[in-house]
Chains A and B, each alone.
Chain A
Amino acid sequence: MDSVTHAPSTEVLRAIVEAAADGVVLCDADGAVVLVNGAAREMIPGDVTRLLDRSREPGETYETTLGDRLLRVRREIFGIVHQAWYLRDVTGEGARADALRAERERTRFLVEAGRRLSASLNTRRCARATAELATGLLADAAMVVLPPGGLRRTAWLRSSEAGLEEGEIPVADADQVPGLAEALAGFPPVPSRWLDPHQAPEWLLPAGFGPVGHLLVTPLPGNGVPAGALVLARREGCPGFDDETETLVRVFAARAGAAISAAVLYQEQSATNAILAGDLRPPPLPVVEGLELAGSLRAAQQTALIGGDFYDVLPTPDGPLVTLGDVCGKGPRAAVLAGQVRHSLRALLLLERDPEQLMHLINKALLASYTPRSHVTLVLAAIRPGEGVIDLAVAGHPAPLLLRADGVVEEIDARGTLLGAIRSGSITLRTATVDLAPGDLLLLYSDGITEAFGGPTGREMYGSTRLKAALSTCAGMPATAVVERLEQLNSDWLAGGVFDDRALLAIRRSQ
């Protein structure tokens, strides 16, 4: 009977069950509750039997709700007399799993948002991506109100089940949406619950949207300036914007705002560039009686379409002055200096038409320039069209080539100092006068043509010998065709390689 003596007493067993962390309810064969431990009492105030599902198999686990809590219950049978229910409160567990799921969804959303928002530098496309991303997870309808443009009107884009819509409102109408004027001014967002959805004006929502239940208005912060605002609407009866969502919307708005403001800045810059570049591009060549003129200009930086090579044909009462030049450097900086030289020449031409004198004046102007390293090479050709005589001055530039009507190519014997380079201001020039017979062609070109690296090895210079040979095959061709052919041969030589700015200009005396 020793074993009996040492078995725990009923009191001890009861105490162990009482102290267990899980709830335990013990019933007898008739289903009468014989024991409820402390944990179970705490979980289920009042009648515990309503939670006990006797239809469950022994060992089966099921979940049941009690108020706002979730309980996991397991039924066990001991012998034929007792059945027990083990209870565990898993409300927190479920909430944690839900929170994790929601967090993952938010992360996925932000990753997708980052991907789509970084895909464009176009304001409208960024605004569209913002509105479309926000519809679904965040709201039933999402409107992006862009920062006010000119004329006191502001553009908006809206995404909803009705699809994408766009429009414009007077800036003053922003006051009709609670919180919108403040958001557009860049003030931090106010919680959704402070905004009265019933005040939303009709234009804010798509037709047939129904009553608005919740509004959330968030500024889109740009680079120091507001990039517009995001208005989110949920229908009446939908859950409101909780704290997590409001935080998510703020993070999303920061990304969208950065993307939209970058796009706005980029578009402003592009528009400015286009205006400036327009003035720097080669002008259309005038029609001069007795002459054919043709030019070609290829910038090394194709995106900007501007570079350091330039040409102009400036009319004067005595005949046109043709200029072709190359400023030191590449890209926009070179293009700006090229523009300055072109404008200087235009002004100087009102007082002086002699190429040699013009060279001295331009040189002095460049030496006085504020821009360091304003070095320019230049060819000036003053044409007397009736006589076919051209006065030439060349400064630091490859000498022009003369193609006679019979195919003979001569290099003009003219030389001169690079302009804007020698501080003493003295330049030496050896000018030339060319008699252009009918059918003869004078070719002005920049060193980008002869110094084009390419050919079979990719490392060989095109060189003046090849240019002369190519030119000699152009006898009898119209000026436009000559320029096109030389440009084509030179581009073939480059075979798509890196190249310098390249300019060609042909003056042909009509036959």
Chain B
Amino acid sequence: METAPFLVEIDNPEPDTTRLTLSGDFDYTTSGELAALTPTLMSRGLKVLEVDLNGVTFIDSSGLATLIHLFHAAEEVPAEMRFVGMTPYIAHLFEVTALDQVFNLPTSAA
């Protein structure tokens, strides 16, 4: 099976805001990359962590676990993690796992 490469883009639209743009297959084989990045993302002074999942084609339980881990890491800073991009597929997945009750989701897709 061919897979869509998993990509992580990081930029800072505001000084205290970091935006993560994820794309491709976010699964057991690729989630380690974001997990490894997590400590460096949680720099001091971080207030808002935006996560854009618009380009994510597939996400499995390892991908979800990595997002939860990211969410907890942001809580500790403390910073607010919110999702700014979402697909119906991922919104459904968040609903099945009831993570929609935990995460800050964009109102349009929630």
Q: A415-B96, A417-B97, A421-B68 are in contact. Are A326 and B61 (CB under 8 A)?
A: yes
B27 to chain A, nearest CB (A): 9
Residues of B within 8 A of A458 (CB): 1-2
**B72 lies within 8 A of A423 (CB):** yes
* A498 contacts chain B at the CB level, 8 A cutoff: yes
Give the A interface residue count (CB, 8 A).
Answer: 34
**B97 lies within 8 A of A396 (CB):** yes
* A453 contacts chain B at the CB level, 8 A cutoff: yes
Instruction: Choose one: A330, A417, A429; the contact of B99 (CB below 8 Å).
Output: A417
Residues of B within 8 A of A453 (CB): 1, 58
> B4: nearest residue on chain A (CB-CB)?
A459
CB-CB contacts of A285-320 with B at 8 A, as 1s and 0s? 000000000000000000000001000000000000
> A424: nearest residue on chain B (CB-CB)?
B102
> A463: nearest residue on chain B (CB-CB)?
B89
CB-CB contacts of B20-39 with A at 8 A, as 1s and 0s? 00000000100000000000
* B64 contacts chain A at the CB level, 8 A cutoff: yes
A144 to chain B, nearest CB (A): 43
Instruction: Choose one: A327, A330, A373, A454; the contact of B69 (CB below 8 Å).
Output: A373
* A400 contacts chain B at the CB level, 8 A cutoff: no
Instruction: Choose one: B60, B69, B99, B102; the contact of A451 (CB below 8 Å).
Output: B60
Give the B interface residue count (CB, 8 A).
Answer: 20
Instruction: Choose one: A375, A417, A461; the contact of B65 (CB below 8 Å).
Output: A375
| CA A497 to CA B3, docked complex, whole Å | 12
> B66: nearest residue on chain A (CB-CB)?
A373
**A427 lies within 8 A of B60 (CB):** no
Q: A453-B1, A458-B1 are in contact. Are A447 and B98 (CB under 8 A)?
A: no
Point out which of A330, A395, A458 has the most chain B C-beta atoms below 10 A from its C-beta: A330
A388-429 contacts to B, CB under 8 A, are 395-399, 415-418, 421-423, 427-429
B76 to chain A, nearest CB (A): 10
B40 to chain A, nearest CB (A): 19
Residues of A within 8 A of B1 (CB): 453-454, 458-459, 497-498
A323-344 contacts to B, CB under 8 A, are 326-330
B29 to chain A, nearest CB (A): 9
Residues of B within 8 A of A399 (CB): 96
Residues of B within 8 A of A417 (CB): 97-99, 101-102
B55 to chain A, nearest CB (A): 16
Q: A328-B62, A421-B68, A447-B61 are in contact. Are A416 and B28 (CB under 8 A)?
A: no
17 examples of A-B residue contacts, CB within 8 angstroms: A329-B62, A330-B28, A375-B61, A375-B68, A377-B61, A396-B98, A415-B95, A416-B98, A417-B97, A418-B97, A418-B99, A421-B99, A451-B58, A454-B1, A458-B1, A458-B2, A459-B2
List 10 other contacts, CB 8 Å, given A396-B97, A418-B61, A421-B99.
Answer: A377-B97, A399-B96, A415-B98, A417-B97, A417-B102, A418-B64, A421-B97, A423-B75, A453-B1, A461-B58
Which residues of B does A touch, CB under 8 Å? 1-2, 28, 58, 60-62, 64-65, 68-69, 72, 75, 95-99, 101-102
